[in-house]
Amino acid sequence: MKAMVYRGPYKVRVEEKDIPRIEHPNDAIVRVSLAAICGSDLHLYHGMMPDTRVGMTFGHEFVGTVHQVGSSVQNLKPGDRVMVPFNIFCGSCYFCSRGLYSNCHNVNPNATAVGGIYGYSHTCGGYDGGQAEFVRVPFADVGPARIPDWMDEEDAVLCTDALATGYFGAQLGDIGEGDTVAVFGAGPVGLFAAKSSWLMGAGRVIVIDHLEYRLEKARSFADAETYNFTEYDDIVLHMKKITDYLGADVVIDAVGAEADGNLTQHVASSQLKLQGGSPVALNWAIDSVRKGGTVSVMGAYGPMFSAVKFGDAVNKGLTLRMNQCPVKRQWPRLFDHIRNGYLKPSDIVTHRIPLEHIADGYHMFSAKLDNIIKPLVVPTAG
């Protein structure tokens, strides 16, 4: 089969690999029909995530058709069209049994601080991902779900991470009626977080980024009030000014490890890997939220330390909430919202890239060329 393969920082190519095999009785092998490149894949691509091994296939957002199932699989059969959440989880451990699917203890031997994720380095379990023609899906009775007949495949693939994570980020903010919500980052997850904030009763939704085309999307897609932080000497001060000098009630960090806006932080984290991520967006979030407010973090950060302004968070009495999204818990409600027309995830898709051209796709997404917001990857197997 053809699969995207990591060759080292900033380098990927398509190689022939063996079709994955059933390795556990509850495995399924899924033939991928549509995958996506996620902003967090860029952290791997840039060599920021420890234990990202050459030869690995990335891709934690994918949908496809069940090709083969293991002997203990009861809920799926070959031919079923499935969507697969980015978390790999057993459904039975201490954490899964409480709904913390992204914190499953039975799938990632390499670390206890993070669960299992498809195609996301050995720090997340060493599973190959879905930017390929076939992928191994562990715990097939637990993770995947059949794609509803009425659902478009492009909407489905965005439910496997970006939409669910954006919605979860708004949820972590504990938004109340009339709250002012600020979202740092107008990438796919930030756009969905902004859109979801309205569903939870926000009174005002502000989005901050530096890419004008993304801010335009935040205005048109998420009805957000937008600010380009490069136009202000001090975006935190500006945020205070536009919120009656109180600060936003809720601030969502939808940027994560490679935040721009400070050259020193960029070099220290993204280039020299001295930090688990550039904390620029997170620190802006801590400074922009009102005292007693809530900061929600769904931007991906690496496992090493980052220079976060924790003292400010303490002194302002903030609630900091964060996690990887337990995707499957979100689905029933998200399906309702999509069906009702409140959410149309595929509206943010800008590029559809054949698997063979995935190196171009990664570069375009990394360098933010061609007004790219969300690239999908299309395997071309017959």
Partner 1 sequence: MPYTADRPKPKATSEELRARIPGWGADLDPKDRPAVPREQPGLETGAHWHFPDRQPEKWPRERSIEHEQLTPVFGTSTPLRGVSGAMRRAAYKYSEGRAAHWLILLAADRVDAWEHHLRSLATLRPDNPVTETGMLSEFSSHGIRSRFGKKRADLPHQALDPVVVAGPWLLAVGIAVAGIRSWRRRRC
Q: Which residues in 339-358 contact partner 1 (CB under 8 A)? A: 340-343
In angstroms, how far apart are the furthest CA atoms of the chain?
61
Residue selected from 146, 216, 223, 352 as contacting partner 1 according to rule CB under 8 A: 223
234 binds partner 1 (CB under 8 A): no
Of 144 and 379, CB closest to partner 1? 144
- Classify residue 315 as exposed, middle or buried by CB count within 10 Å of its CB (0-12, 13-18, 19+): exposed
Please give the Cα distance from 191 to 199 (Å, whole number): 13
13 binds partner 1 (CB under 8 A): yes
Report which DSSP code applies to 236: H
Ranges of H-type helices in 290-357: 310-315, 327-339
Show Cβ contacts of residue 6 under 8 Å, excluding neighbours closer than 6 positions. 12, 44, 45, 52, 53, 54, 55, 56, 57, 58
243 binds partner 1 (CB under 8 A): yes
Please give the Cα distance from 290 to 301 (Å, whole number): 24
315 binds partner 1 (CB under 8 A): no
150 binds partner 1 (CB under 8 A): no
Kindly report the number of other CB atoms within 10 A of residue 203's CB atom: 14
Residue selected from 1, 19, 199, 236 as contacting partner 1 according to rule CB under 8 A: 199
CB of 34 to partner 1, least distance (A): 20
227 binds partner 1 (CB under 8 A): no
Q: How far is CA 95 from the centre of its chain?
A: 21
Residue selected from 65, 148, 174, 238 as contacting partner 1 according to rule CB under 8 A: 174
Which region, judged by CB under 8 A, interacts with partner 1, from 59-67, 152-160, 177-185, 292-300? 177-185
Please give the Cα distance from 239 to 232 (Å, whole number): 10
CB of 156 to partner 1, least distance (A): 17
**223 φψ region: left (φ > 0), alpha (ψ -120 to 50), beta (else):** left
Within residues 66-125, the interface with partner 1 by CB under 8 A covers: 72, 74-75, 88-92, 96-101, 105-113, 116, 122-123, 125
Residue selected from 203, 236, 268, 319 as contacting partner 1 according to rule CB under 8 A: 203
CA distances (Å), origin 12, targets 46, 57, 101, 161, 270: 11, 9, 30, 22, 18
200 binds partner 1 (CB under 8 A): yes
Residue selected from 78, 201, 292, 354 as contacting partner 1 according to rule CB under 8 A: 201
40 binds partner 1 (CB under 8 A): no
Residue 5 CA neighbour count, 13 Å, CB half:
12
- Classify residue 8 as exposed, middle or buried by CB count within 10 Å of its CB (0-12, 13-18, 19+): exposed
Residue selected from 150, 244, 380, 382 as contacting partner 1 according to rule CB under 8 A: 244
237 binds partner 1 (CB under 8 A): no
Within residues 250-279, the interface with partner 1 by CB under 8 A covers: 260-261, 263, 266-267, 271, 273
Residue selected from 156, 330, 347, 377 as contacting partner 1 according to rule CB under 8 A: 330
165 binds partner 1 (CB under 8 A): no
